Amino acid sequence: MTERFPKGDAEADRAGASDTNSPLLEVDGLETHFPITTRWLRREVGRIRAVDGVSFAIDRGEAFGLVGESGSGKTTAAHSILGLEEPTGGAVRFDGQLVDELTGWELQQFRRRAQLVVQNPDDAFNPRLPVGKSVAEPLALHGMDDEERRRAIVADLLERVGLEATDANRFPHEFSGGEKQRLSIARALVVNPDLIVADEPTSALDGRVKADVLSLLDELRREFDIAVLCISHDIDVVRRFCDRVGVMYLGELVERGETEAVLESPAHPYTRVLIGSIPSLDPSDRSLVRPLTETVPAPSDPPSGCRFHPRCQELIPPTASLEREDWRAIARFRFALQEGTVPEPIAVDSGTRVDPETVRDAFDLPTDLPNEGIEDAVEAATRAVADGDLERARERLAESLSTVCERTQPEAGDECEHLVRCHRYDSTIEAEPIPWRG
């Protein structure tokens, strides 16, 4: 590339003076809650805890992936970092400076240095404008008045992203999806950013086009030493592209570490479900991991303690005397009743009565448990379900099966090399980590 957007003097100064060991982006306890208000008085009746205490840092030139499923809060987190959404708590530092304290020229610099690339490039381009104009737009916005220079920079960049300089005169509809995503990458690059926030950058693409766009992004970030925050639900994208990764569940970061460590030997039970749900490329291995229960709780009413507990296969038992499989069956029984998913043939909703044995069979409940309290509770709950009284069954189980996982919020565990928020990795709690695929 012959020419790029010039760095400002003050910035060059600061770059010389600033502590290069400090990360480019530091996100510390980020919190973005949305109030749920009544229609009339706009009284707050609840909060959607979209992002609830997320921390990570990204070094210059590093690619960090934020993965999670819909409702995990990963996109809200990205938007909050860029100031497109107002955080309700925590701190975001860019180059050591608090982003929400930036004003005037400094704020402008932040907006130039941190660029967003969105999933659907159609949103980023005006259909009536030649793409060259759209790509050049950020330049004009950041004060480059010389149209000739703008044109030269754009021509250069278009070639750099695998298009042709003459493409600048064409209109968005003349480009394929992959080409459009190349254009939006060019548009982000045109102002010489230090950070690109890529929100599902390849989700609208497939196969080789997707791989090509990813490779391009990877090349560019290495060439220009740009840090990338990559938001994705696609583990393959993160595996290929990111140095480190954070896994989000219901607004919280549950695991964070080197990509290889997190994806090849996931520690957190939720990460394990996520990885285990991806079909293998080996057709002879068709196993798919299942969480304890299916329903993802609402972020407005997250479960107590560990937010993953009603779905966790590794839930810590109230007493060590239970066999793992027995405990899993009992816990599944409890949380299935809680979420209201009752297997056939106990169609409670249709009012059919069944006998307790049928209930036991349907849930594969163990008999002769070593712990009398638990045995009694399961017995009583089974009878309650047979009578069609789900509420009584739920209460009875909640009373006797209380686990540390629902009582206490897990902190970062000390029994893992990287960050894992799960009691099993906390040496003060009497439960050991279960080996992956163990």
Partner 1 sequence: MTDDHISDERTSTEPLLAVDGLRVHVRTERETIRAVDGVSFELCRGETVCLIGESGSGKSVTCESLTRLVPEPPFEIVGGCVEFEGRDLFAADTGRCRRVRGDRIAHVFQNPQSALDPVYTVGEQLIETIEIHEDVPKTNARDRAIGLLRQVGIPRPADRIDDYPHEFSGGMCQRVAIAIALTAEPDLVVADEPTTAVDVTVQARLIELLREVTDGGTSLLVVTHDLRVAAALADRLLVMYGGTIVERGPIEELFERPAHPYTQALFESYAGRSAGSDRTARGDVPADGCRFRSECPHAVEACSDGEQPPFYAVGDDSDRRASCVHYGPGNDPGAVLEAGATIAEAEGSDD
How far is CA 111 from its chain centroid? 23
Helix (H, G, I), strand (E, B) or coil at 314: coil
Cα separation values, 354 from 22, 341, 349, 375, Å: 64, 16, 12, 20
CB of 300 to partner 1, least distance (A): 15
Binding mask 262-291 for ligand SF4 (x = CB under 6 A): -------x----------------------
Q: Which is nearer to partner 1, 352 or 402 (CB)?
A: 352
> In the numeric block, which tokens belong to residue 299?
């972020």
Q: Is 335 in the site for partner 1 (CB under 8 A)?
A: no
Q: Is 302 in the site for ligand SF4 (CB under 6 A)?
A: no
Q: Is 429 in the site for ligand SF4 (CB under 6 A)?
A: no
Q: Is 392 in the site for partner 1 (CB under 8 A)?
A: no
Got the DSSP string for 134-196? HHHHHHHHTT---HHHHHHHHHHHHHHTTS-GGGGGS-GGGS-HHHHHHHHHHHHHTT--SEE
Q: Which is nearer to partner 1, 264 or 411 (CB)?
A: 264
Tokens 């659907």 correspond to 120
CB 131 within 8 A of CB 186: no
Q: Is 122 in the site for partner 1 (CB under 8 A)?
A: no
> In the numeric block, which tokens belong to residue 342?
């009752």
Helix (H, G, I), strand (E, B) or coil at 253: strand
Which partner in partner 1, ligand SF4, none is near 314 (CB below 5 to 8 A by kind)? ligand SF4
Which partner in ligand SF4, partner 1, none is near 410 (CB below 5 to 8 A by kind)? ligand SF4
Got the DSSP string for 368-396? S-S-HHHHHHHHHHHHHHHTT-HHHHHHH
CB of 292 to partner 1, least distance (A): 12
Binding mask 230-269 for partner 1 (x = CB under 8 A): ---x-xx--xxx----------------------------
Distance between CA atoms of 307 and 360, rounded to whole angstroms?
Answer: 27
Cα separation values, 210 from 223, 241, 301, Å: 20, 12, 36
Q: Which is nearer to partner 1, 308 or 327 (CB)?
A: 308
Got the DSSP string for 92-118? EEETTEEGGG--HHHHHHHHHHEEEE-
Which partner in partner 1, ligand SF4, none is near 177 (CB below 5 to 8 A by kind)? partner 1
Q: Is 101 in the site for partner 1 (CB under 8 A)?
A: no
Out of 112, 113, 180, 424, name the contact with ligand SF4 by CB under 6 A: 424
The side-by-side arrangement of strands in the sheet containing 114-117 is 114-117, 195-199, 227-232, 63-67, 244-249, 252-258, 419-420
Window 141-200: residues binding partner 1 (CB under 8 A): 162-163, 176-179, 182
Q: Residue 205: name the closest of 183, 185, 177 by CA.
A: 177
Binding mask 288-327 for partner 1 (x = CB under 8 A): xxxx--xx--------------------------------
> In the numeric block, which tokens belong to residue 225?
């030493």
Helix (H) or strand (E) holding 197: strand 195-199
Helix (H) or strand (E) holding 221: helix 207-224
CB 66 within 8 A of CB 82: no
Out of 195, 228, 273, 316, name the contact with partner 1 by CB under 8 A: 273
Out of 28, 156, 258, 339, name the contact with partner 1 by CB under 8 A: 339
Window 140-179: residues binding ligand SF4 (CB under 6 A): none
Which partner in partner 1, ligand SF4, none is near 308 (CB below 5 to 8 A by kind)? ligand SF4
Q: Is 39 in the site for partner 1 (CB under 8 A)?
A: no
Window 349-388: residues binding partner 1 (CB under 8 A): 349-350
Distance between CA atoms of 367 and 375, rounded to whole angstroms?
Answer: 8
Tell me the site size for ligand SF4, rule CB under 6 A. 13
Which partner in partner 1, ligand SF4, none is near 239 (CB below 5 to 8 A by kind)? partner 1
Out of 150, 309, 328, 360, name the contact with ligand SF4 by CB under 6 A: 309
Which of 115-123, 200-208, 311-319, 359-367 is the region at the interface with ligand SF4 (rule: CB under 6 A)? Answer: 311-319
Tokens 């909050």 correspond to 80
Residues in the site for partner 1, rule: CB under 8 A?
Answer: 69-70, 162-163, 176-179, 182, 205-212, 214-215, 218-219, 233, 235-236, 239-241, 273-274, 277-284, 286, 288-291, 294-295, 339-342, 344, 347, 349-350
Residues in the site for ligand SF4, rule: CB under 6 A?
Answer: 269, 306, 308-309, 312, 314-316, 405, 410, 422-424
